[in-house]
Structure 1
Amino acid sequence: MKTTLILVGKTNGKLFNEGIDDYAKRIGHYTPFAVKVLPELKSTKSLSESQQKDKEGKMILKTISPSDFVVLLDEHGTEYRSMEFAKWVEKRRNSGRDLVFVIGGPYGFSPDVYNRADALISLSRMTFSHQMVRLIFVEQLYRACTIIKGEPYHHE
């Protein structure tokens, strides 16, 4: 089973990129893992929020296969403690389906993407920048991998 993180738009900032790359490599020691960056939309000033979400949504849906278990990182999603998230990830991995996490653009997701999603996860009730969410999420996914393996990275 493969795990993929889909990002809409590139990550800005050397610090964020280095952190994401570091955790992506670490995750790769536990499971096949890839980060797919979808291109940012051009000329968005002439597009409404809804039009932007629809265009981004079409790109996201083209990247996902019908058999994937799709998880949107969304402020209205379920919040997990790290141990709970690790159990959740392990259960999904055991299902045999590829696990695809998606961090959308600045306005969230289109209705079509929400309809395709199998689950929604929220990292916090607080609001973080899209750049920060990327780094926080890959760290939590790495933490889940170490918890599943019983390694000492996480302390209760």
Structure 2
Amino acid sequence: MYRFRIYYPGKTKAKFIKDGVSHYIRIISSFAKIEIIELKEAHGEKDKVIEEESRTILNSVKGDFILLHRDGKSLSSLEFADFIKNKSIHQFVIGGAYGVNTEVYNAASFKLSLSCLTFTHEMSRLILLEQLYRAMTIIHGKNYHY
């Protein structure tokens, strides 16, 4: 069974995103153990927030991790499913509203871009979960991805 850990600063505030996150966690659980780790969200000046949240990320995540980042590699859903199937890294980090510092960026084993479009950090949580569910259905030969 796969095990996913997703780290991000702050709680999900938008109700529709919270509902979606709960929905995907529930349906992913038949394929994988999934753990959401909400880290302390920083407040204040942008640079201070980035540094504080990045420090929290580096102190919390143990081992290799995948960073969701706009400069990361774009994968199709089929490529992402292969990536999940063939890699032992199943820890994901989503930065806060302002992103992460260079230290977190450089520490990531892999940088993944969800799209060339820009999403809020909260929307990224939901999109990642949907893609993890899609990957699980592809890997297990279920009818979801066409």
- TM-score, normalised to structure 1, is 0.87
Please identify runs of 4+ aligned residues in structure 1 that moved more than 3 A: none
SS at match of 2:65: strand
Deviation at 1:63, TM superposition (A): 1.2
| Count of matched residue positions in the alignment of Structure 1 and Structure 2 | 145
Residue 20 of structure 2 corresponds to 19
Unaligned runs of at least 5 residues, structure 2: none
Instruction: Please give the alpha-carbon distance, in whole angstroms, between the structure 2 residues aligned to 1:29 and 1:113.
Output: 31
Written as runs of structure 1 = structure 2, the 5 A alignment for 1:98-113 is 99-113=90-104
Residue 54 of structure 1 corresponds to 51
After superposition, give the CA deviation of every residue in 1:53-86 in whole Å (9 maximum; x if it has no partner).
1110111111111xx3201110000001100100
Written as runs of structure 1 = structure 2, the 5 A alignment for 1:58-69 is 58-65=55-62, 68-69=63-64
Residue 89 of structure 1 corresponds to 84
SS at match of 1:32: strand
Unaligned runs of at least 5 residues, structure 1: none
SS at match of 2:13: coil
After superposition, give the CA deviation of every residue in 1:104-138 in whole Å (9 maximum; x if it has no partner).
01111112211210000001111112221111110
Residue 32 of structure 1 corresponds to 33
Residue 152 of structure 1 corresponds to 143
